[in-house]
Amino acid sequence: MKAGGMVTVCWFLCFLSACSTQQEGPRPYNFNTPDNLQKPMPVPVHNPTTEEGVALGKKLFFDPKLSDNNQISCASCHIPSLSFSDGKALSSEGISGKKLDRHVPQLINVAWSEGLFWDGGVRNLESVVFGPITHPDEMGKNLGQLVRELQKDAAYPALFSSAFGADSVQSALIARALAQYMRTLISADSRYDHFVREEPGGQLSRLEREGMELVKEKCAACHSFDAGKNDFFTDFSYHNIGLDTSFSDKDERVLMGRFRITFDSTQIGAYKTPSLRNLAFTAPYMHDGRFQTLEEVLDHYSENVQATPYLDPLLKENTDTPGILLREHEKKAILAFLKTLGSPTFSH
């Protein structure tokens, strides 16, 4: 073969190789969703989850560059060892040092949630990150400045290119990457999960099984689960559970619960139902972290529910007084069962 022909063949092979590399693109992420959670996982068409996108999102999640003082990351308040909560009633870890109005929620199984924040003010994970990143009492970062800083970083431009094929860092892609990572925060590896999936290590004691039946009878109207299927332990909805009698306006109506979003008077003081999963790691409890222990939570439902016109009807059923009648032995059984919902391996 003549030299010119050899050059042509080599050029053609290089061209094919380059095309092949370009066509590969980001690799799909395998969620391997457990059988007792809903399948398939809901993922938006415009933001398919990929290995590269998740890796980028994880790096961003733990990077303090996302804050104005370059000292606070998402993980500063969403701590993996605490089921991505922070162990405080009202955090003051933000750049202003002021206490927040609401308790930092855990981040588990959020891929299935159609409303985020305690009042459901955001509908999807792609949008939820802009609030804490830009809020002056949280991370306080200007999005334009963030984009410029990441663009100048030695690693990020290549990571954005690998994850999205983008030739530059963009705020929308920051949100998409973080959303992809948060969708991987799946918790379904507790002793209860092994029990309903009939796997090794899934034994429940008589007291724990009694507690499971009590939760099913007395709590599952809101903390819904179907043993072995859709075991989220939340209805992803909003309820006024009789915590307060006053809902006076303050700082953008934060004390008015879901009403702040819907302006539906039946949802005054209603907040999102948190999952019962990993409760051992997520104290304190409620939207304002007012209860330090699960015993206090059960005492509230049994003895201290406040009757108002906005109280959820579910807490008015079958009793002369509002609340859920719980005897001391029943509380003990429920607490025993709740401990079976903790996943010691849940951290990323």
Strand partners, 229: 226
Please, which residues have CB within 8 angstroms of residue 245's CB and are 6 or more apart in sequence? 306, 308
Q: Look up residue 129 and give its two tokens.
A: 């990150």
Q: Look up residue 236 and give its two tokens.
A: 């992803």
CATH of the domain at 276: 1.10.760.10
Strand partners, 291: 285
Distance, in Å, from the CA atom of 339 to the CA atom of 237, rounded to the nearest integer, reads: 23
* Averaged pLDDT of the chain: 91
- On whether both 118 and 66 belong to a single domain, the answer is yes
Q: How many other CB atoms are found less than 10 A from the CB of residue 50?
A: 20
Is residue 331 within 8 A of residue 295, CB to CB? The reply is: yes
Domain count, the chain: 2
For 153-293, where are the alpha helices, taking DSSP H only?
156-164, 171-183, 191-196, 206-218, 259-262
Task: Give the domain range for residue 71.
Answer: 51-183
Residue 107 lies in a domain: yes
Q: Which of 165, 183, 201 corresponds to the end of one domain?
A: 183
- On whether both 202 and 318 belong to a single domain, the answer is yes
- On whether both 151 and 86 belong to a single domain, the answer is yes
Residue 23 lies in a domain: no
> For residue 318, what pLDDT is reported?
60
Which residue do the tokens 């939207």 mark?
A: 287
Residue 103 lies in a domain: yes
Residue 46 lies in a domain: no
**Lowest mean pLDDT: which of 10-19, 243-252, 301-310?**
10-19
Which amino acid would we find at residue 256? M
Residue 70 lies in a domain: yes
Tell me the pTM. Answer: 0.90
Average pLDDT on 69-96 reads: 96
Distance, in Å, from the CA atom of 328 to the CA atom of 301, rounded to the nearest integer, reads: 13
pLDDT in tens, 259-270: 999 999 999 999
Please give the distance of CA 258 from its chain centroid, rounded to a whole number.
18
